[in-house]
Amino acid sequence: MKTISLTTKSIAAILLGGTLFFAACKKESSVSNSQAESAATVEASQNDAEAEGEFNDVYDNVVSINAGESLGLVDGAGIFGREDSVGRCFTVTVSPATPGVFPKTVTIDFGTACTGKDGKTRSGKIISVFTGHLAEAGNSVTTTFDNYMVDSFKIEGTHKIINTSTSNNRSFNIIVSGAKITKPNGKWYTWDSNKVVVQVEGNGTPRWPFDDIFEITGSKSGSNSAGKTWSATVIDKLIRKGDCRWIVQGTVSLSRNGNSAILNYGSGTCDNKATITANGQTIEITLR
Protein backbone atom coordinates (compact mmCIF):
# COMPACT_ATOMS: atom_id res chain seq x y z
CA MET A 1 0.00 0.00 0.00
CA LYS A 2 2.89 2.30 0.76
CA THR A 3 4.36 1.64 -2.65
CA ILE A 4 1.05 2.39 -4.30
CA SER A 5 0.74 5.60 -2.29
CA LEU A 6 4.19 6.81 -3.34
CA THR A 7 3.49 5.93 -6.93
CA THR A 8 0.22 7.80 -6.80
CA LYS A 9 1.94 10.80 -5.27
CA SER A 10 4.68 10.66 -7.89
CA ILE A 11 2.14 10.60 -10.70
CA ALA A 12 0.27 13.48 -9.10
CA ALA A 13 3.49 15.46 -8.76
CA ILE A 14 4.39 14.79 -12.39
CA LEU A 15 0.91 15.80 -13.53
CA LEU A 16 1.00 18.93 -11.40
CA GLY A 17 4.46 19.80 -12.63
CA GLY A 18 3.33 19.25 -16.19
CA THR A 19 0.31 21.43 -15.62
CA LEU A 20 2.44 24.23 -14.15
CA PHE A 21 4.96 23.89 -16.98
CA PHE A 22 2.15 24.02 -19.55
CA ALA A 23 0.63 27.09 -17.85
CA ALA A 24 4.03 28.81 -17.78
CA CYS A 25 4.59 28.06 -21.45
CA LYS A 26 1.11 29.28 -22.27
CA LYS A 27 1.72 32.51 -20.35
CA GLU A 28 5.09 33.01 -22.03
CA SER A 29 3.51 32.36 -25.41
CA SER A 30 0.74 34.83 -24.61
CA VAL A 31 3.26 37.52 -23.67
CA SER A 32 5.28 36.78 -26.81
CA ASN A 33 2.17 36.99 -29.01
CA SER A 34 1.14 40.24 -27.32
CA GLN A 35 4.57 41.75 -28.02
CA ALA A 36 4.44 40.57 -31.63
CA GLU A 37 0.97 42.05 -32.10
CA SER A 38 2.09 45.33 -30.56
CA ALA A 39 5.14 45.46 -32.85
CA ALA A 40 2.93 44.75 -35.88
CA THR A 41 0.58 47.57 -34.84
CA VAL A 42 3.50 49.99 -34.50
CA GLU A 43 4.74 48.96 -37.96
CA ALA A 44 1.26 49.56 -39.40
CA SER A 45 1.25 53.03 -37.84
CA GLN A 46 4.63 53.77 -39.40
CA ASN A 47 3.35 52.57 -42.78
CA ASP A 48 0.32 54.84 -42.43
CA ALA A 49 2.52 57.85 -41.58
CA GLU A 50 4.81 57.11 -44.54
CA ALA A 51 1.88 56.81 -46.96
CA GLU A 52 0.40 60.06 -45.64
CA GLY A 53 3.69 61.81 -46.30
CA GLU A 54 4.19 60.38 -49.78
CA PHE A 55 0.72 61.37 -50.97
CA ASN A 56 0.89 64.79 -49.33
CA ASP A 57 3.97 65.23 -51.52
CA VAL A 58 1.91 64.19 -54.56
CA TYR A 59 -0.70 66.79 -53.58
CA ASP A 60 1.99 69.47 -53.32
CA ASN A 61 3.30 68.60 -56.77
CA VAL A 62 -0.11 68.59 -58.40
CA VAL A 63 -1.43 71.87 -57.01
CA SER A 64 1.88 73.71 -57.34
CA ILE A 65 2.80 73.00 -60.95
CA ASN A 66 5.36 75.65 -61.94
CA ALA A 67 3.60 76.66 -65.13
CA GLY A 68 0.16 76.61 -63.52
CA GLU A 69 -0.41 80.33 -63.36
CA SER A 70 0.19 80.99 -67.04
CA LEU A 71 -1.86 77.95 -68.04
CA GLY A 72 -4.76 78.92 -65.80
CA LEU A 73 -4.69 75.54 -64.04
CA VAL A 74 -3.93 76.39 -60.44
CA ASP A 75 -2.77 79.27 -58.30
CA GLY A 76 0.65 77.64 -58.02
CA ALA A 77 3.96 79.21 -57.10
CA GLY A 78 6.40 76.55 -58.25
CA ILE A 79 6.56 72.86 -57.54
CA PHE A 80 6.84 72.45 -53.78
CA GLY A 81 10.33 71.50 -52.67
CA ARG A 82 11.75 71.25 -56.20
CA GLU A 83 14.12 73.48 -58.10
CA ASP A 84 12.66 76.73 -59.42
CA SER A 85 12.64 77.75 -63.10
CA VAL A 86 16.42 78.21 -63.08
CA GLY A 87 18.28 74.91 -63.37
CA ARG A 88 15.33 72.67 -62.57
CA CYS A 89 15.75 68.94 -63.24
CA PHE A 90 12.16 68.11 -64.25
CA THR A 91 10.01 68.95 -67.25
CA VAL A 92 6.31 69.86 -67.41
CA THR A 93 4.25 69.14 -70.51
CA VAL A 94 0.61 70.13 -71.08
CA SER A 95 -1.88 68.66 -73.54
CA PRO A 96 -3.71 70.41 -75.07
CA ALA A 97 -1.51 73.45 -74.54
CA THR A 98 -4.27 75.90 -75.51
CA PRO A 99 -5.33 77.88 -72.42
CA GLY A 100 -8.90 77.27 -71.30
CA VAL A 101 -9.32 73.96 -73.14
CA PHE A 102 -10.20 71.04 -70.86
CA PRO A 103 -9.76 68.25 -69.93
CA LYS A 104 -6.06 68.98 -69.78
CA THR A 105 -3.29 66.44 -69.08
CA VAL A 106 -0.22 67.72 -67.26
CA THR A 107 2.83 65.46 -66.98
CA ILE A 108 5.70 66.16 -64.58
CA ASP A 109 8.68 64.13 -65.75
CA PHE A 110 11.51 63.77 -63.22
CA GLY A 111 13.65 61.72 -65.58
CA THR A 112 15.95 59.10 -64.07
CA ALA A 113 17.09 61.13 -61.05
CA CYS A 114 15.93 64.60 -60.02
CA THR A 115 17.03 65.84 -56.60
CA GLY A 116 15.00 68.76 -55.29
CA LYS A 117 15.60 71.43 -52.68
CA ASP A 118 13.94 69.16 -50.13
CA GLY A 119 16.77 66.65 -50.58
CA LYS A 120 14.56 63.94 -52.08
CA THR A 121 15.44 62.26 -55.36
CA ARG A 122 12.53 61.57 -57.69
CA SER A 123 12.29 59.68 -60.95
CA GLY A 124 9.52 58.72 -63.34
CA LYS A 125 6.34 60.64 -64.08
CA ILE A 126 3.32 62.11 -62.32
CA ILE A 127 0.41 62.37 -64.77
CA SER A 128 -2.56 64.59 -63.82
CA VAL A 129 -5.81 65.12 -65.72
CA PHE A 130 -7.66 68.37 -64.88
CA THR A 131 -11.38 68.64 -65.63
CA GLY A 132 -11.16 72.43 -65.37
CA HIS A 133 -9.54 75.19 -63.35
CA LEU A 134 -8.83 73.54 -60.01
CA ALA A 135 -9.47 76.86 -58.25
CA GLU A 136 -13.15 76.59 -59.25
CA ALA A 137 -15.62 74.58 -57.17
CA GLY A 138 -16.73 71.30 -58.72
CA ASN A 139 -13.59 70.73 -60.76
CA SER A 140 -11.15 67.94 -60.06
CA VAL A 141 -7.76 66.52 -60.95
CA THR A 142 -6.92 62.80 -61.08
CA THR A 143 -3.30 61.73 -60.83
CA THR A 144 -1.65 58.45 -61.76
CA PHE A 145 2.00 57.42 -61.94
CA ASP A 146 4.43 56.05 -64.52
CA ASN A 147 7.32 54.25 -62.80
CA TYR A 148 7.35 57.05 -60.22
CA MET A 149 9.82 56.71 -57.35
CA VAL A 150 10.86 58.89 -54.40
CA ASP A 151 14.22 57.94 -52.85
CA SER A 152 13.79 54.43 -54.36
CA PHE A 153 10.27 54.08 -52.85
CA LYS A 154 7.96 53.14 -55.73
CA ILE A 155 4.59 54.95 -55.65
CA GLU A 156 1.51 53.48 -57.37
CA GLY A 157 -2.23 54.13 -57.25
CA THR A 158 -4.70 56.92 -58.02
CA HIS A 159 -4.85 60.31 -56.29
CA LYS A 160 -7.88 62.54 -56.82
CA ILE A 161 -8.54 66.09 -55.65
CA ILE A 162 -12.08 67.48 -55.87
CA ASN A 163 -12.72 71.16 -55.18
CA THR A 164 -15.68 71.22 -52.76
CA SER A 165 -15.42 74.91 -51.87
CA THR A 166 -18.36 77.16 -51.10
CA SER A 167 -18.58 80.94 -51.32
CA ASN A 168 -17.08 81.37 -47.83
CA ASN A 169 -15.16 78.12 -47.34
CA ARG A 170 -12.26 76.76 -49.42
CA SER A 171 -12.17 72.98 -49.16
CA PHE A 172 -11.14 69.84 -51.02
CA ASN A 173 -11.97 66.14 -50.92
CA ILE A 174 -8.82 64.07 -51.46
CA ILE A 175 -9.23 60.40 -52.31
CA VAL A 176 -6.35 57.93 -52.65
CA SER A 177 -7.33 54.53 -54.01
CA GLY A 178 -5.41 51.38 -54.89
CA ALA A 179 -2.16 52.86 -53.61
CA LYS A 180 0.90 50.67 -53.18
CA ILE A 181 4.27 51.78 -51.85
CA THR A 182 7.21 49.44 -52.35
CA LYS A 183 10.35 50.03 -50.29
CA PRO A 184 13.92 49.55 -51.54
CA ASN A 185 14.12 46.25 -49.58
CA GLY A 186 11.13 44.85 -51.48
CA LYS A 187 8.62 45.14 -48.63
CA TRP A 188 5.39 46.89 -49.57
CA TYR A 189 2.12 48.18 -48.19
CA THR A 190 -1.18 49.25 -49.71
CA TRP A 191 -3.14 52.32 -48.67
CA ASP A 192 -6.55 53.89 -49.28
CA SER A 193 -7.61 57.24 -47.91
CA ASN A 194 -10.59 59.57 -48.00
CA LYS A 195 -9.98 63.00 -46.46
CA VAL A 196 -11.54 66.44 -46.27
CA VAL A 197 -9.10 69.35 -46.36
CA VAL A 198 -10.34 72.78 -45.27
CA GLN A 199 -8.25 75.92 -45.65
CA VAL A 200 -8.58 77.96 -42.44
CA GLU A 201 -5.96 80.65 -43.08
CA GLY A 202 -4.43 82.29 -46.15
CA ASN A 203 -7.62 82.50 -48.20
CA GLY A 204 -7.02 86.20 -48.86
CA THR A 205 -3.66 85.58 -50.57
CA PRO A 206 -4.32 82.85 -53.17
CA ARG A 207 -1.04 83.49 -55.00
CA TRP A 208 1.06 83.22 -51.84
CA PRO A 209 0.82 79.63 -50.47
CA PHE A 210 3.23 80.05 -47.56
CA ASP A 211 0.64 81.58 -45.21
CA ASP A 212 -1.89 78.83 -45.88
CA ILE A 213 -3.07 76.59 -43.04
CA PHE A 214 -5.20 73.50 -43.65
CA GLU A 215 -7.24 71.26 -41.33
CA ILE A 216 -7.56 67.62 -42.36
CA THR A 217 -10.09 64.99 -41.27
CA GLY A 218 -10.97 61.56 -42.63
CA SER A 219 -10.24 57.85 -42.56
CA LYS A 220 -7.65 55.45 -44.00
CA SER A 221 -6.92 51.75 -44.33
CA GLY A 222 -4.04 49.59 -45.45
CA SER A 223 -2.24 46.25 -45.55
CA ASN A 224 1.39 45.19 -45.85
CA SER A 225 3.55 42.39 -47.23
CA ALA A 226 3.64 40.78 -43.77
CA GLY A 227 -0.08 40.02 -44.14
CA LYS A 228 -1.25 42.65 -41.64
CA THR A 229 -4.24 44.94 -42.24
CA TRP A 230 -5.39 48.06 -40.41
CA SER A 231 -7.81 50.97 -40.40
CA ALA A 232 -7.24 54.48 -39.11
CA THR A 233 -9.28 57.58 -38.31
CA VAL A 234 -8.21 61.16 -37.68
CA ILE A 235 -9.36 61.96 -34.12
CA ASP A 236 -7.76 65.40 -33.69
CA LYS A 237 -7.62 67.44 -36.90
CA LEU A 238 -4.32 67.20 -38.74
CA ILE A 239 -2.74 70.58 -39.42
CA ARG A 240 -0.63 71.40 -42.46
CA LYS A 241 1.04 74.76 -43.08
CA GLY A 242 2.08 76.13 -46.43
CA ASP A 243 5.61 76.79 -45.24
CA CYS A 244 6.18 73.26 -43.86
CA ARG A 245 6.22 70.02 -45.80
CA TRP A 246 5.21 67.86 -42.81
CA ILE A 247 2.00 67.63 -40.83
CA VAL A 248 2.67 69.71 -37.72
CA GLN A 249 -0.19 68.76 -35.42
CA GLY A 250 -3.02 66.28 -34.86
CA THR A 251 -3.57 62.64 -33.93
CA VAL A 252 -4.64 59.48 -35.75
CA SER A 253 -6.15 56.41 -34.07
CA LEU A 254 -5.14 53.14 -35.74
CA SER A 255 -6.78 49.76 -35.14
CA ARG A 256 -5.37 46.39 -36.13
CA ASN A 257 -6.62 42.94 -35.09
CA GLY A 258 -7.96 44.18 -31.77
CA ASN A 259 -4.85 46.24 -31.06
CA SER A 260 -4.71 50.02 -31.23
CA ALA A 261 -2.14 52.78 -31.53
CA ILE A 262 -2.12 56.57 -31.50
CA LEU A 263 -0.02 58.43 -34.04
CA ASN A 264 0.70 61.95 -32.74
CA TYR A 265 2.16 64.58 -35.08
CA GLY A 266 2.98 67.08 -32.33
CA SER A 267 1.68 70.44 -31.19
CA GLY A 268 2.43 72.75 -34.13
CA THR A 269 6.22 72.83 -34.55
CA CYS A 270 7.49 72.30 -38.10
CA ASP A 271 9.69 69.22 -37.82
CA ASN A 272 9.89 65.67 -39.15
CA LYS A 273 9.09 64.00 -35.83
CA ALA A 274 6.00 62.15 -34.61
CA THR A 275 5.26 59.62 -31.89
CA ILE A 276 3.44 56.29 -31.85
CA THR A 277 1.89 55.02 -28.62
CA ALA A 278 0.88 51.34 -28.47
CA ASN A 279 0.43 48.94 -25.55
CA GLY A 280 1.40 51.68 -23.10
CA GLN A 281 4.73 52.40 -24.78
CA THR A 282 5.64 55.49 -26.85
CA ILE A 283 8.31 55.66 -29.53
CA GLU A 284 9.45 58.56 -31.70
CA ILE A 285 9.58 58.17 -35.49
CA THR A 286 11.11 60.28 -38.25
CA LEU A 287 8.75 61.33 -41.05
CA ARG A 288 9.91 61.04 -44.65
Per-residue pLDDT of 240-266, as tens digits, reads 998 898 999 999 999 998 889 999 999
What's the pLDDT at 32?
Answer: 52
Looking at residue 74, what is its pLDDT? 44
Assigned domain for 107 exists: yes
Structure letter (DSSP) for residue 26: H
| 104-108, 145-149, 189-193: segment of lowest average pLDDT | 104-108
Question: What is the per-residue pLDDT for 245?
Answer: 87
Report the domain count for the chain. 1
How confident is the model over 126-130, as a mean pLDDT? 95
Mean pLDDT on 40-54 = 91
Three-point CA angle 33, 35, 39, nearest 5°: 115
Any domain includes 220: no
C-beta separation of 238 from 257 below 8 A:
no
What local confidence, expressed as pLDDT, does residue 87 receive? 59
The helix (H) or strand (E) run that includes residue 19 is helix 2-63
Mean pLDDT on 4-14? 42
Residues of the domain holding 97: 39-213
What pLDDT, on a 0 to 100 scale, did the predictor assign at position 33?
57
Q: Are the beta carbons of 109 and 128 closer than 8 angstroms?
A: no
Average pLDDT over residues 21-29: 44
Is the pLDDT score of 239 beyond 50?
A: yes
Residue 194 has pLDDT above 70, yes or no: yes
Residue 139 belongs to a domain: yes
**Mean pLDDT over the full length of the chain:** 82
- pLDDT reading at 78 higher than 60: no
Q: CA 48 to CA 68: how far, in whole Å?
A: 30
Least confident of 37-41, 120-124, 161-165: 37-41
Let me know if residue 251 belongs to a domain: no
Q: What is the pLDDT of residue 257?
A: 84
In a domain, 168, yes or no: yes
- Please, which pLDDT band fits residue 217 given cuts at 50, 70 and 90? very high
Report yes or no on 66 lying in a domain.
Answer: yes
pTM, rounded to two decimals: 0.81
Q: Residue 245: inside a domain, yes or no? A: no
Residue 36 pLDDT grade (very low, low, confident, very high; cuts 50, 70, 90): confident
Minimal CA–CA distance to 178: which of 193, 164, 167?
A: 193
Could you tell me if residue 108 is inside a domain? yes
pLDDT at 5: 44
Q: Could you tell me the pLDDT band of residue 167, with boundaries at 50, 70 and 90?
A: confident
